[in-house]
Structure 1
Amino acid sequence: MTENNAGYNGPLPPRPQNPPTQRAAEERAEEERQAAEHAAAGSPTESTPADRPAEGAPADLPAEGAPADTTDASDGVHAQQRGTPEQHETQAYPTAHATPAEQQSYGASFGYDAYAQPETPVYKRREKKRVGAGTFVTGMLVAGLLGGSVVAGTDALLDTGNGVGNTGTAQPQSVVVNDTGSVNEITGAAAKASPSVVTISVSGGQSGGSGSGIILDAEGHILTNTHVVTLGGQVADPAVEVRTNDGRVFQAEVVGTDPLSDLAVIKIDAPDLQPATLADSSELNVGDVAIAIGAPLGLSGTVTDGIISTLNRTISVQSSAVPEQQADEPEQAPGDGFNFLPPDGSEAPQQGTQGSIYLNVIQTDAAINQGNSGGALVDSQGQIIGVNVAIASAGSGESAGNIGVGFSIPINYAQRVAEEIIASGEATHGFLGVSVGPAASGNAEGASTFSVGAEVQSVEPDSPAQVAGLQEGDVITKVGELGIEDPQALTAAVRMLAEGESTQVELLRGSEALTLNVTVGRSPA
């Protein structure tokens, strides 16, 4: 910030904490006595005015006896700045040799008494900050995100000449710890988990993008998102490359994808891999520390932190990898809710070519941006609690970015899906066999925008729901440990179950509360 003051172009003085010392008072008295002697002797006062250092003295040195100003002029920042913009424009600042009357006026104008001002304030002309190359490139990447699609933006700025977004220009960075005596829990957790998080580059045809992944085992299996390895459904046979946290680069093969959970497993053939430590996501609390690790905008090894904002949030994410019509899929009003965008750096598919998937997720305010997809959400112990999958954005497409509302797939669910993909190349999901709609509260008058459960509208013959005894008109309020507030929550909860898994379903039948045991089938989608 540049001050606009007549005769002075420096920062305001720091607000002093103590009144002038006796020594300072004596020095001012001595200065006044010397000035009187010069005047009596007829010395020309024009040669050494009170607001200018003596001839031959450096202009920026403090007056004798004044405390030295240790502020680095290059940082352009003084301790604090006082006063309103109007005062900045009109207030003349006192010099190092201002009279007591001038100091009294200056002190009062800035809200503290005359005794509390600096003994002999010393001002140094502020220098402009220099911007390093790293800062400049980062600024360009952000500008690319705001000015066009992420892939096009980064490719235009960091062109490799092959038409594919160069997502690997930033050098890999391990967590840097310069002061081992002052390491907080975020640093410790990031240092533990970061070697297990990789950056993924995907290309196919004329498309390219990047994301993140989590090393599952020493055999090289890596967990990520389906929308990362398929570029949001644009590529069926992608070329996948992985860069580990220590900078090694390997070609990867796709083991399998699971569009209904938006999870995928890839594999690299590499020695000395560090598998991630997985937490138990069923033990999480709202308010727990949440740390996102990944490669937003291709910037590998980026660490951001926040808290768990809520648990068991249901979101819908549009995906061209699933059919437009699916079994157990609820009706959804167009335009409802936020625009949930997969942060992978790829273009969103056209509205007419995609279906929706319903996910039960962890919500966090840790910054998640495009490129964080498939990366880790970590607890304070450095254990993986979730796989970052989506963000809620106030914008869409090229203007999408972090607003403090990010989503992560709980690791318990992700681990089950990953194990099935590794074992058979695909994962299974539960199927109930009902059509449901929102259930209005009994206290609602007329139409209500709030739902208090999923009301059964029809039951398919010979389905798991019919076998368990569900009936039309039942209002499902809980599946296992998950509360059900609307049809989307029911779909997400049932699909989290594996084929053949049993659970309890709580419901209201009229005024009667019932609990039924259900063994789910396999979702055909």
Structure 2
Amino acid sequence: MKINLGWVSNDNFASKNAGMPKNNPKTDEQLLDAYSQAVINVVEKVSPTVVNIDVQKFLTGRSRNYLPLAQEVRGNGSGFIFTQDGYILTNSHVVHDASKIQVTLSDGRSYDAEMIGDDPDTDLAVIRIHAPNLIAARLGDSQSLRVGQLAIAIGHPYGFQTTVTTGVISALGRSFQSRSGKVIENIIQTDAALNPGNSGGPLVTSHAEVIGINTAIVMAAQGICFAVPINTAKMVIPALMRYGQIRRGYIGIGGQNVRISRRLMLSHELAVDTGIFVMYVEANSPAAKAGLQEGDVIVGFNNRPLRSIEDLQKLLTPESIGVRSQLTILRKNRKLVVGIVPEESSSSVSG
């Protein structure tokens, strides 16, 4: 179809557009008001789903005289309701080994919670309360995040009810060591301020969608905070709700998503333009036994292309444990295939 735009003289254009409103740029005040209103809208939608979690734990040990010693420890954290029938997502380190868990809703109601499932490797846990008229948070897609976009953290630091901080997504694809000693991959870095007690609370977009679970701060730094991506939680939640634990394959690397040059893609006929850069290899791990090295880029698992750490996590299923598999890697611009036998994660325990 041809469209003849023709030519329009300046006089005709001016006469035809006379009286039309001018597209004046917004003032600083208007931009700040729009930003404020966006945050307010998000908080009004999400804060009813955010809960305060108080826990009691009994720590056992021995005194200086080697006598048995038991001590009650109290702590608190945050979480958010993700189903209307009372399932709550939080951090493993908030509720792990708790003898009692109490949840306080945004409207002040309090309920005892039961542990449903716990996964120290991803620092995620699911607990449940039985209460009427609950509002569930809407889960987003952390795979679609962009560095620089708005991030809003909501939680209960130090027990202060519904504290809100804002910032941006500072970086993606980070690796972070969980308290179980395992490395959590594909972590979100944000500068939205977090404090003790924020752990387990949601990191939210301007569309009021949860895209992360706030999990850690770097105490010696300012503006460096981390959240577990919601897509990781989506993979973990079904198993925690069904079995109470996660049984997963493990190869023993710390990695980061990287882009692959078009020249390497074409020369090696790769189906992906990103891969997993191996930052380090754990001693005596399946990766070490397979000969993986720092600097390798993993691009395939059993002839299936790998674009990200998340792709690899999806393939390290219970069925992969003890089964000889193949990793396709790039090493100094050469394409290699190495054999590897994934092992079971040492933190996968019977519940």
Q: TM-score range by the shorter chain?
A: 0.5 to 0.7
- In the alignment, structure 1 residue 429 sits paired with structure 2 residue 290: no
Native 8 Å contact 1:255 1:421 kept in 2: yes
Matches within 5 A, 1:4-403: 184-205=37-58, 206-230=72-96, 236-317=97-178, 319=179, 322=180, 356-360=181-185, 361-394=187-220, 403=222
Say if 2:217 and 2:226, in contact at 8 Å, map to a contact too: yes
Deviation, structure 1 residue 280:
0.8
Q: Is the 8 A contact 2:103 2:112 kept in 1?
A: yes
Report the Cα offset of residue 262 of structure 1. 1.2
* 1:382 CA drift (Å): 0.4
Partner of 1:417: helix, strand, or coil? helix
Contact 1:474 1:509 (C-alpha < 8 Å) held by counterparts:
no
Which residue matches 2:227? 408
For 1:524 and 1:383, the matched residues in 2 are separated by: 33
Q: CA deviation at 1:429?
A: 2.6
How far is 1:186 from its partner? 1.1
Alignment length (residue pairs): 271
Question: Taking structure 1 as reference, are residues 501 and 280 closer, same or farther at Cα in structure 2, changes over 3 Å only?
Answer: farther
Give 1:196 deviation, angstroms.
1.2
Q: CA deviation at 1:403?
A: 1.7
Question: In structure 2, which of residues 227, 230, 238 is the aligned counterpart of residue 419 of structure 1?
Answer: 238
2:302 paired with 1:476: no
Q: Does 1:524 align with 2:341?
A: no
- Cα distance change on mapping 1:264 and 1:185 into 2, 3 Å: same
Cα distance change on mapping 1:519 and 1:423 into 2, 3 Å: farther
Cα separation, 1, equivalents of 2:330 and 2:149: 33
Distance 1:189 1:508, change over 3 A: same
CA deviation profile, 1:86-117 (whole Å, cap 9, x unmatched) = xxxxxxxxxxxxxxxxxxxxxxxxxxxxxxxx
Measured after TM superposition, the shift of residue 190 of structure 1 is 1.5
- Which SS does the other structure have where 1:370 is aligned? coil
Deviation of 1:501 (Å): 6.8
The Cα shift of 1:518 comes to 7.9
Q: What TM-score comes out, normalization by structure 1 length?
A: 0.46
Distance in 2, matches of 1:185 and 1:312, equals 27
User: Which whole-Å CA distance do the structure 2 matches of 1:368 and 1:309 have between them?
Assistant: 14
Distance apart, 1:475 and its partner CA: 5.2
User: What root-mean-square deviation, in Å, do the aligned CA atoms of Structure 1 and Structure 2 show?
Assistant: 3.6
Is 1:290–1:305's contact at 8 Å kept on the other side of the alignment? Answer: yes
TM-score by length of 2: 0.67
Residue deviations 1:391-422 (CA, integer Å, cap 9, x gap): 0111xxxxxxx721110000010122122110
Instruction: Give the drift of 1:495.
Output: 8.9
Gap change, CA 1:384 and 1:501, over 3 Å in 2? farther
In structure 2, C-alpha distance between the alignment counterparts of 1:362 and 1:273, rounded to whole Å: 28
Distance in 1 of aligned mates of 2:155 and 2:161:
6
- Larger-Rg structure: 1
Give the deviation of 1:514 after TM superposition: 3.8
The aligned amino acid for 1:378 is: V
Q: Larger % of strand: which?
A: 2
In structure 2, C-alpha distance between the alignment counterparts of 1:381 and 1:302, rounded to whole Å: 19
Instruction: Tell me if structure 2 keeps the 8 A contact 1:281–1:410.
Output: yes
In the alignment, the residues of structure 1 paired with residue 219 and residue 86 of structure 2 have an alpha-carbon distance, to the nearest angstrom, of 33
User: In 1, distance between residues paired with 2:207 and 2:154?
Assistant: 14
- Contact 1:476–1:505 (Cα < 8 Å) also in 2: no
2:22 is matched with: none
Contact 2:150 2:206 in 1 (8 A): yes
CA distances 1:111-160 after superposition (whole Å, capped 9, x unpaired)? xxxxxxxxxxxxxxxxxxxxxxxxxxxxxxxxxxxxxxxxxxxxxxxxxx
Alignment partner, residue 512 of structure 1: 334
Give the aligned residue type for 1:420.
A
Q: Percent of aligned positions with the same letter in both sequences?
A: 37
Please state how far the C-alpha of 1:510 moved relative to its aligned partner: 5.7
Query: For 2:139, what is the secondary structure of its paired residue?
Result: coil
Counterpart CA distance in 2 for 1:366 and 1:314 is: 18
Task: Give distance in 1, aligned partners of 2:293 and 2:197.
Answer: 44
Distance 1:504 1:311 in 2: 27
Q: Provide structure 1 residue ranges, at least 5 long, that are not aligned to the other structure.
A: 1-179, 231-235, 323-355, 395-401, 438-451, 484-489
| 8 Å Cα contact 1:212-1:224 kept in structure 2 | yes
CA positional deviation for 1:523: 2.1
